[in-house]
Amino acid sequence: MYIVFVLIILIGLLYKTKFIQHTRPLLLFVSLVYFGFIDGGCDCVLFFFQGFILYLMGKSLFLFSFIFIVTLIVLSVIFGAIWCGWICWLGALQEFIYQKNKWNLFQSKKSQKILLYIQMSAFVALIIWLILSQRPVLCGYDPFVSVFRLKIFNWVGYITVPLLLLSSLFIFRPFCRIFCPIGLLLYGVKYLPFAKKLKLDNCTNCRKCHSYCKMGAIQEKQIEKTCIMCGECKKAECKSIK
């Protein structure tokens, strides 16, 4: 798992080069195949997050999860949300399923706010669930594990797995934008004044980059904190993107 941190550092250092931008689909595919289908999708970000919370509650068994999340936060401060846009196998699965369509769902600024409120509510609900249960609760209900292992483990999976696959077909990374606790955590990291993030300087509002951002993170003359550093906006060859 430590190879993940090495990759984040390498990608972060080479992020502005055209070479590394061309490797993103390959890196996502390798991550999806190895960490997803070969490794069975576990451990994943949901596992690490719940372990992180449980460790903060005094469950020393989850020390590695705590170290993983803290390291991920530190690297995200230095290099940006490279984990989300380049490595996460959960995000990769959704991204490869997605088919571009005419509806462009959840691209407006208003929809971004609504999704954020839903994600924050899910974040709080998950923490309350962990506090009440005092044990890892997500592994048996994680739809990604069911997909990666090609097996549905309980009746909840018969609802969440089709919902995940169908929504990913029409919405770009729906889980990442609506439920992922790590996504919200790294979203919060971007509020730190010294945290790495893309921004628009001297933007003329030509909107060329908007069509490349499937996350809907580019709004008006700024890049929102929902940006996953995928670098797709750079295809617009806009000099304002820094």
| Better-scored residue on pLDDT, 32 or 212 | 32
185 domain residue, yes or no: yes
Q: What is the dihedral of CA 90, 91, 95, 101, to 10 degrees?
A: 110
Arithmetic mean of pLDDT, 216-232? 89
Arithmetic mean of pLDDT, 77-91? 96
In which band, very low, low, confident or very high, does the pLDDT at 106 lie, cut at 50, 70 and 90? confident
**What is the tally of structural domains in the chain?**
1
Angle at alpha carbon of residue 94, lines to 72 and 32, rounded to 5°: 60
217 domain residue, yes or no: no
- Whether residue 74 is predicted with pLDDT greater than 90 in this model: the reply is yes
Q: Are the C-beta atoms of residues 32 and 92 closer than 8 Å to each other?
A: yes
208 domain residue, yes or no: no
Q: What is the pLDDT of residue 219?
A: 85
What are residue 200's DSSP bridge partners?
241
Q: What is the pLDDT of residue 108?
A: 82
Q: State the burial class of residue 64 (Cβ atoms within 10 Å of its Cβ: 0-12, 13-18, 19+).
A: middle
Lookup: tokens for 48: 């690490």
128 domain residue, yes or no: yes
Q: Are the C-beta atoms of residues 77 and 23 closer than 8 Å to each other?
A: no
189 domain residue, yes or no: yes
231 domain residue, yes or no: no
Containing domain of residue 20, as a range?
2-197
- Whether residue 42 is predicted with pLDDT greater than 90 in this model: the reply is no
101 domain residue, yes or no: yes
